[in-house]
Amino acid sequence: MWRLLKHSAGVANHAAAELFPGYFAVIMATGATSIASYLLELRLMAIALLMANLLAYGILCLLTLIRLVRYPKRLVGDMIDHARGPGFFTIVAGTCILGTQLYIATGNDALAAMFWWIGVTLWFVIMYLFFIAVTTRAEKPNLSSGINGAWLLAAVSTHSVSILTALLPWSGSTDLRLFFAMCMFLIGCMLYLAIITLIFYRLTFLKVTVESLTPPYWINMGAVAIATLAGSTLILRANEGGILADFQPFLLGFTVFFWATASWWFPLLVGLMLWRHLIRRHRIVYEPQLGSMVFPLAMYTTGTLRLSAALNIPFLMRIPELMIWLALLAWIATSASMFHHFSRLARIPRA
């Protein structure tokens, strides 16, 4: 028993030391898949995913706290790194998506509000620490090695705050809450448009290798998928009147623009993935960033579903009714590979 406990502690300590900042993408992917399942009447699947997500979130928070206390230099080193630093935004997005998941699946306002406070606080801390750190860094990488799809997590995290803000009831002014939600939506749009320009340039004018074409590039699609959900949520709230009613035409046009952009990205990303693994024969192995591929599929499903309701165009529902199965298949495949990976790491060595 002592040997087992010692080994478990050693595994946990090693996991905390080497924890990839973007691991909370698992929470994002599971939460988005659960929300899509719930809205499409797959309630048992949604609740099962919620339970799994709460467990995973607790484990990742514990490992992050251990890393903060025992390995602060490694954590700071990741924060100021152009390639790894954007992964910290998955903590914000995962927290807010889990709060949204709780609100939609259980209707628990108080618990969802707690995640809102945590998410908003983390958004302010991580957003400004990261951008101040990379701006003032003395030595900076070139564009080829310094930027990837993970940078769009800054926009994803901002839109996740907007969605949860728009959904949650509170005791203050409704107009104030919805105005804040709209401002976060617009900030997320600004971040996406600024960052995607650099990423598109990097993909089309600089050399792309199978090693550099990693799963975070799927966030090119995921970021506009969650923007679609955020915009659709605001449109649905605008139908109730209040401050958002005057912005409804603007929100309609911008939201459809982002949905169309997400739809455009999907075939391109599939083609690039086929080029990477079928034509160039790059081996498929587990990596922490695989959740970045599941999240866009599930979020596109949910975003399209809510856009159909916001625009009152039922024919769009055919898309989420099909996409949910692709999202669930991707979630199962990545989860199985993750559990296999962790079981190998946690295996007790024989004497």
Per-residue pLDDT of the chain (351 residues; tens, 9 = 90+): 545 445 455 556 777 878 888 899 999 999 999 999 999 999 999 999 999 999 999 999 999 999 999 999 999 999 989 888 999 999 999 999 999 999 999 999 999 999 999 999 999 999 999 999 999 988 899 888 889 999 999 999 999 999 999 999 876 778 899 999 999 999 999 999 999 999 999 999 999 888 888 888 999 999 999 999 999 999 999 987 788 999 999 999 999 999 999 999 999 999 999 999 899 888 877 777 777 889 999 999 999 999 999 999 999 999 999 999 999 999 999 988 888 777 776 664 444
pLDDT of res. 170 = 76
Residue 91 phi/psi, 5-degree rounding, is: -65, -45
**Do residues 218 and 267 make contact, with C-beta atoms less than 8 angstroms apart?**
no
Whole-angstrom distance, CA of residue 195 vs CA of residue 193: 6
Q: Mapping DSSP to helix (H, G, I), strand (E, B) and coil, where does residue 46 land?
A: helix
Q: Using alpha carbons, list the distances in angstroms from residue 157 to 95, 175, 237, 249, 258.
A: 9, 22, 21, 25, 16
- What is the C-alpha radius of gyration for the chain, rounded to an integer number of angstroms? 20
State the CB neighbour count (10 A cutoff) for residue 81.
18
CB 227 within 8 A of CB 189: yes
pTM: 0.93
Tell me, what DSSP letter sits at residue 328?
H
- Alpha carbon distance 208, 205 (integer Å): 9
Tokens of 87: 């992964």
Q: According to DSSP H, which parts of 80-108 are helical?
A: 89-106
Q: What is the pLDDT of residue 136?
A: 93
**Phi and psi torsions of 238, nearest 5°:** -65, -30
The single residue listed with the structure tokens 């995640």 is: 115
